[in-house]
């Protein structure tokens, strides 16, 4: 992970005496109350899952240490909030302090974690040996193990929906899934997943597969499987650009699906950066006088990068120039570095939790398909990454008509007038839901916005069979001029519905998919003959 770069505020900066006195007074009162309760034997474990074990409650000194740590962390946060800084600079300071505070938790060290100490005594030292073995294995891998990776093999345990690879080039394979119903909708669906991750997040296991659910509803589904570029690959993949991904990736896949289905227009879905790629590619097609897509679905997608959430702490000119010098002419942005950056956006859940359980307590990680996928990252071509970082995150050029040119062709997201289904997740820290909602101001067709509970991944992968979570939606599809400009105004009129948003989407998509016809007996066609069974070989390549 590259730390947020050079400060954007003059030094020195300081907290005003009045605010500092108030913070000190609150800290002193909290400290006195804690010591009094500890002396009386009434000090309860704090409401923090790191300190809820019986070993903390039964060890007075450890309990005081936990409370002292939380009091100190709160005071540091209050001081950050009180420093007179521009909000962007404050966010960076807040992020840096958060990393330090989370790292210094007494739960993270064997000498100050009574649970780990008790586990070591009860096991006769075996937990410590197991933890050290796990630590050594992770040092060799260069990353923290979050799940039992031996339990999963892509194509055997994950990505199981049957199908065939029917087209491929240096950047992607195109999978056509076999029908699971006697009849299918006439118009097929192309799914464009993020190239920063592997597509099988949408096809984990049958019980939680978005792909299988769509196929079971009678949709003919095609999936882009992005190549995971490696050092020394043929085809100069490490020099691939944003333009290459739009044209050789998205638009070539769109054309192949049209050829196979014999449909003038298809439906298309983009997830995360896959949605950004998809919308950009369709705007490029529009600029060329082409209109290949009848409806557009965007899941947790940024088109307007005004608010990029916590990722904004990494976005500045210095970082952009550094990456351009390193990777702008070729090379790979490694999956390991990308994964580390995303993990430290939520260090308590995605870093220190595993340090404690795996290394201090010697517990073997549990098998969890989503965490296996999370560890199975992809490299990105340097020119692609640097273009995306500057033009999207830093300069936010995609939202402005004509500010981005592909092969001298200016693109305009406002030219997209097909019906759109736009989804955001309420607790998403990567694509804040209000930023996902901002796409409603750029697109020009009738649209439906849906807000799901939970985060960037768990909100999307929420199968109806589990009966979990909920989603918010207003009634019907709304013409573009009638969409509220204020996302909070939209939310005030939305209705909460229990369970998964998937049935809402499939009902909407069916209205744009034409009549049903007999399911095809073969996949592909004479021009796009099956190459190999799904999930294909591109997705099985693991980053080193």
Q: Which tokens is 170 given?
A: 């240096």
How many Cβ atoms sit within 10 Å of the Cβ of residue 314? 19
Integer Cα distance of 195 and 198 in angstroms: 7
Q: In a 3-state reduction of DSSP, which class is residue 164?
A: strand
Q: Which tokens is 227 given?
A: 């190549």
The DSSP H or E segment spanning 338 is helix 335-343
Q: Which tokens is 262 given?
A: 């014999």
Supply the DSSP symbol for 2: P
Backbone angles phi, psi at 536, to 5 degrees: 85, 165
Judge whether 238 and 382 are in contact, CB under 8 Å.
Answer: yes
Is there a catalytic annotation at residue 195? no
- Which one from 97, 134, 195, 272 is the annotated catalytic residue? 272
Supply the DSSP symbol for 333: E
Cis peptide before 458 (omega within 30 of 0): no
How many Cβ atoms sit within 10 Å of the Cβ of residue 284? 24
Burial of 395 from C-beta contacts in 10 A (0-12 / 13-18 / 19+) = middle
Judge whether 420 and 445 are in contact, CB under 8 Å.
Answer: yes
Q: Measuring CA to CA, which residue among 238, 178, 241, 249 is closest to residue 211?
A: 178
Q: Which tokens is 102 given?
A: 């989370």
SS (H, E, C) 218-248: CCCEEEEEECCCCCCCHHHHHHCCHHHHHHH
Judge whether 183 and 177 are in contact, CB under 8 Å.
Answer: no
Judge whether 470 and 464 are in contact, CB under 8 Å.
Answer: no
Cis peptide before 296 (omega within 30 of 0): no
Helical ranges in 382-531 per DSSP H: 382-388, 433-437, 487-493, 502-510
Q: Which residues are tagged catalytic?
A: 272
């Amino acid at each position: 992970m590259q730390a947020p770069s050079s400060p954007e505020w003059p030094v020195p900066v300081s907290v005003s005496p009045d605010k500092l006195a108030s913070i000190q007074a609150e800290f002193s009162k909290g400290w006195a109350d804690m010591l009094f309760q500890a002396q009386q034997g009434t000090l309860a474990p704090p409401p923090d899952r790191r300190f809820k074990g019986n070993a903390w409650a039964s060890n007075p000194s450890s309990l005081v240490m936990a409370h002292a740590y939380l009091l100190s962390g709160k005071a540091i946060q209050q001081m950050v909030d009180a420093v007179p800084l521009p909000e962007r600079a404050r966010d960076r300071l807040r992020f840096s302090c958060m990393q330090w505070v989370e790292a210094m938790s007494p739960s993270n060290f064997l000498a100050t974690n009574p649970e780990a100490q008790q586990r070591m005594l009860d096991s006769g030292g075996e937990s410590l040996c197991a933890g050290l073995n796990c630590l050594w294995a992770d040092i060799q891998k260069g990353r923290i193990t979050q799940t039992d990776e031996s339990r999963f093999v892509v194509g055997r345990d994950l990505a199981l929906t049957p199908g065939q690879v029917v087209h491929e080039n240096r950047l992607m394979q195109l999978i056509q899934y076999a029908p699971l119903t006697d009849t299918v909708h006439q118009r097929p669906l192309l799914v464009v997943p993020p190239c920063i991750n592997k597509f099988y997040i949408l096809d984990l296991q049958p019980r939680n597969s978005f792909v299988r659910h769509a196929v079971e509803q009678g949709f003919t589904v095609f999936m882009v499987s992005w190549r995971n570029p490696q050092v020394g690959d043929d085809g100069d993949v490490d020099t691939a650009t944003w333009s290459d991904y739009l044209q050789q990736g998205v638009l070539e896949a769109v054309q192949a699906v049209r050829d196979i289905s014999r449909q003038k227009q298809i439906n298309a879905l983009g997830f995360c950066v896959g949605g950004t790629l998809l919308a950009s590619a369709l705007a490029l097609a529009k600029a060329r006088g082409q209109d290949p897509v009848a409806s557009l679905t965007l899941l947790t997608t940024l088109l307007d990068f005004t608010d990029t959430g916590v990722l904004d702490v990494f976005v500045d000119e210095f970082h952009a120039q550094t990456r351009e010098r390193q990777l702008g002419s070729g090379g790979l942005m490694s999956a390991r570095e990308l994964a580390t950056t995303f993990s430290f956006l939520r260090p308590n859940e995605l870093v220190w939790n595993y340090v404690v359980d795996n290394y201090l307590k010697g517990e073997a990680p549990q098998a969890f398909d989503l965490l296996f996928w999370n560890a199975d990252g992809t490299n990105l071509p340097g020119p692609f990454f640097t273009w995306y970082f500057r033009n999207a995150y830093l300069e936010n050029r995609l939202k402005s008509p004509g500010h981005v040119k592909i092969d001298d062709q200016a693109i305009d997201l406002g030219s997209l007038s097909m019906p759109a289904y736009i989804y955001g997740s309420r607790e998403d820290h990567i694509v804040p839901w209000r930023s996902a909602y901002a796409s409603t101001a750029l697109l020009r067709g009738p649209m439906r916005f849906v807000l799901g509970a939970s985060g960037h991944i768990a909100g999307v992968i929420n199968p109806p069979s589990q009966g979990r979570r909920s989603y918010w939606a207003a009634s019907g599809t709304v013409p573009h001029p009638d969409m509220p400009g204020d996302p909070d105004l939209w939310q005030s009129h939305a209705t909460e519905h229990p369970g998964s948003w998937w049935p809402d989407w499939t009902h909407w998509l069916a209205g744009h998919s034409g009549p049903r016809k007999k399911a095809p007996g073969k996949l592909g066609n004479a021009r796009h003959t099956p190459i190999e069974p799904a999930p294909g070989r591109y997705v099985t390549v693991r980053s080193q």
